[in-house]
Amino acid sequence: MRRFKLQVQVTADGYMAGPNGEMDWMTFPWTEDIGDYIDALTKPVDHIVLGRRLAEGFIPTWETGPEGETRETTDWMNSTPKTVVSDSLTESPWKNATVAGGDLAETVNRLKAQPGGDLITYGGATLAANLIAEGLLDELHLFVNPTAIGTGRPVFPTTGAHHRLRLVTARAFDCGITALHFEPKRS
């Protein structure tokens, strides 16, 4: 069965974005070592899962080719099929993307049961929290930026439930970001 990975940048205090979606706290430019790490992480991936709000900025940004990104990365982002999780959209306004509404677990389990490589999500915050709350992720790759913002949109759901994780690897990069690779501890 395909593995489902979360790759997300977070603050040192665990936020994916500020209270209004601000992401001005991210560390740039990235160094070659973190680029190599992300290339290895995404190499087995052949499908991207996004929340609607993130997709609205993510997909058009990659279609125009973000400044500073390689042609290879831009082409991969654009050619990789996407599923946009949304209960408000009924059809996709984007090329190479389908919309899935309804039960999140059913959608993810259907995608995981299909043949192919791994799945990856970059969030947004609501989707990431829901995937964690429902135990649908196989790997969490948190790219911890050396910044604390005090409040914002957390990676982990605020349900009061415990989410036990096993640290697989931790790696510091020259740009100051540390990657924490976790797997959920399943009972």
Residue 178 parent element (H or E)? strand 178-184
Helices assigned H by DSSP within 49-176: 52-64, 71-79, 104-113, 125-133
140 within 8 A of 182, measured Cβ to Cβ: yes
> What's the pLDDT at 107?
96
> What's the pLDDT at 169?
98
Short-list 186, 142, 179, CA closest to 5: 142
Which pTM was predicted? 0.94
156 found inside a domain? yes
Structural domain count of the chain: 1
21 found inside a domain? no
CATH code of the domain containing 80: 3.40.430.10
pLDDT digits (tens, 9 = 90+) for 101-145: 999 999 999 999 999 999 999 988 999 999 999 999 999 999 999
Residue 107: which domain range? Answer: 4-16+26-175
Short-list 15, 28, 88, 9, CA closest to 55: 88
